[in-house]
């Protein structure tokens, strides 16, 4: 009668140990930005967020690089070509009905005003980005500065 | 000689069957010639054929609207680069044979050489499309059927003005629609 009970005990112990090992990556039911998915699981990816073709976007603080209010699929900005400037440069803006780049873009880091766009401003997407149709993941109490707040 | 004469008399004699055979032979022969000719044309229109010499371009195009889009309608190399008009097509093919010569000269067979020559080649394509008022684009995109109310405001603004009054054509504004651009310094409307 002694041997089977020993066997059962061993079985129970090893199952417990195994279960504990399985639990290693568990979040204990705690929800995070990735939901309640345990760490060891790969959850299906969210759908890609879409960029609206056109949208009106207001600035939130003074000197904010304005957001891009339109789609920029496949627009090339490289050593060879700058698609943004083909509409927004001072030369082309009027004809294309686009906003001119700001005068600040002609100033280099020594504050000297140049005859053409400053190289440090060339890669537009370092500061200007389109806004995808995505809700913030974390609650945010940010308020516009007074001067930009709409009545 | 005798045989031909016999054949000829047979043709001249008003036998319906013989006339039928001749007509059929002529028809079949024509069909075969047409088929073989067109097959050659079709084979040289595929992307695989172009990729033999333009591999970097064929890779690049996969990110663009004419390769992958919501409606699944594609433009392949030959849609933009070989005129659809049958006669133009032949003229273009004959012209293209000179590319073979350049191929063996190796004008674009390394990335560096291609980069170097790309502006020149693009310039030639722009000139061609400018001269034919972007015929290849218009084979698919017909101005008369553009619904400006469905287009973005930027599109509608320029399509209803500079495009509508013929001042500009598609490639004036849509350079690089299917490819990475070459060095654009000095190109009109660019930096």
The verdict on a CB contact (< 8 Å) between A81 and B176 is yes
Residue B176 touches partner A, C-beta closer than 8 Å:
yes
Distance CA B113, CA B129 (A): 24
For the cut 80, the answer to whether the pLDDT of residue A44 exceeds it is yes
Whole-number Å distance between alpha carbons of B54 and B52 = 6
Please report the domains of chain A, with CATH numbers, ordered by start residue.
49-136 (1.10.1130.10)
Q: What is the mean pLDDT of chain B?
A: 79
pTM for this entry:
0.82
Whole-number average pLDDT of chain A: 84
> pLDDT tens-digit profile of A50-102?
889 999 988 888 889 999 999 999 999 999 999 999 999 999 999 899 999 99
pLDDT-wise least confident of A25-29, A71-75, A138-142? A25-29
Residue of A71, A79, A86, A130 to mutate, interface with B, max B Cβ within 10 Å: A86
Task: Please name the residue of chain B whose CA is at the shortest distance from the CA of residue A98.
Answer: B154
pLDDT digits (tens, 9 = 90+) for B120-156: 999 999 999 999 999 999 999 999 999 999 999 999 9
Is there a contact between A86 and B190 if contact means CB atoms under 8 Å apart? yes
A114 pLDDT band, cuts 50/70/90, is very high
Let me know if B78 is exposed, middle or buried by CB neighbors in 10 A (0-12, 13-18, 19+): buried
Q: Is the confidence at residue A125, as pLDDT, over 70?
A: yes
- Closest-CA distance, A48 to chain B, in angstroms, reads 14
Helix ranges (H only) for B44-134 are 47-60, 77-81, 86-105, 111-131
Interface contact A80-B154, CB threshold 8 A? no
Residues of A in contact with B191 (CB under 8 A): 81-82, 85-86, 89
SS (H, E, C) B1-67: CHHHHHHHHHHHCCCHHHHHHHHHHHHHHHHHHHHHHHHHHHHCCCHHHHHHHHHHHHHHHHHCCCC
Residue in A54, A89, A98 closest to B191 by CB: A89
Q: Compute CA distances B39 → A54, B6, B26, B31, B44, whole Å.
A: 45, 38, 20, 12, 9
Confidence class of residue A32 from pLDDT cuts 50, 70 and 90? confident
Average pLDDT over residues B64-89: 80
Cβ of A76 within 8 Å of Cβ of B153? The answer is no
- Identity of the residue in A70, A80, A85 whose CB atom sits nearest the CB atom of B181: A80
Using the predicted structure, report yes or no on whether residue A23 has a pLDDT greater than 70.
no
Rounded-to-integer distance, Cα B102 and Cα B120, Å:
14
Q: Ranked by mean pLDDT, which of A25-29, A125-129, B77-81 comes out on top? A: A125-129
State how far the Cα of B39 lies from the Cα of B78, in Å rounded to an integer: 15
Q: Please report where in the chains the tokens 């509608």 appear, as a residue.
A: B156
Chain A interface includes B87 (CB < 8 A): no
Q: Is B150 on the interface with A (CB under 8 A)?
A: no
**How far is A120 from A113, CA to CA, in rounded Å?**
13
Residue A142 has pLDDT above 50, yes or no: yes
A81 by DSSP, 3-state: which? coil
- The answer to whether residue B7 neighbours chain A at the CB level (below 8 Å) is no
Band of pLDDT at residue A1, cut at 50, 70 and 90: very low
């Amino acid at each position: 009668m002694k041997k089977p009970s020993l066997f059962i005990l061993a079985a129970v112990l090893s199952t417990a140990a195994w279960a504990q090992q399985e639990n290693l990556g568990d979040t204990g039911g705690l929800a995070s930005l990735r939901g309640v998915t345990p760490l060891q699981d790969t959850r299906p990816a969210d759908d890609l967020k879409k960029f609206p073709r056109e949208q009106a976007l207001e600035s939130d603080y003074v000197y904010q690089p304005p957001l891009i209010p339109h789609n920029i699929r496949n627009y090339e900005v490289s050593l060879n070509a700058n698609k943004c400037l083909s509409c927004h440069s001072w030369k082309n803006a009027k004809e294309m009905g686009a906003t001119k780049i700001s005068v600040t873009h002609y100033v280099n880091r020594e504050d000297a005003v140049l005859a053409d766009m400053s190289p440090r401003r060339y890669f537009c997407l370092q500061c200007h980005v389109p806004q995808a149709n995505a809700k913030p993941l974390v609650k945010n109490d940010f308020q516009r500065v007074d001067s930009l707040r709409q009545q | 000689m005798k045989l031909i004469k016999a054949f000829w008399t047979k043709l001249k004699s008003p036998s319906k069957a013989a006339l039928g055979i001749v007509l059929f032979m002529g028809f079949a022969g024509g069909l075969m010639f047409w088929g073989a000719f067109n097959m050659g044309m079709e084979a040289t229109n595929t992307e695989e054929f172009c990729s033999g010499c333009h591999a970097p371009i064929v890779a690049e195009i996969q990110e663009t609207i004419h390769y992958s889009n919501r409606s699944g309608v594609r433009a392949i190399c030959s849609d933009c680069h070989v005129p659809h008009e049958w006669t133009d097509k032949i003229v273009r093919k004959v012209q293209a044979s000179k590319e073979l010569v350049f191929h063996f000269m190796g004008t674009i067979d390394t990335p560096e050489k291609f980069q170097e020559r790309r502006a020149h080649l693009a310039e030639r394509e722009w000139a061609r499309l400018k001269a034919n008022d972007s015929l290849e684009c218009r084979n698919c995109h017909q101005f008369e059927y553009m619904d400006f109310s469905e287009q973005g405001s930027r599109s509608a603004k320029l399509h209803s003005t500079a495009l509508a009054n013929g001042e500009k054509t598609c490639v004036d504004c849509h350079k690089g629609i299917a490819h990475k651009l070459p060095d654009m310094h000095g190109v009109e409307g660019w930096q």
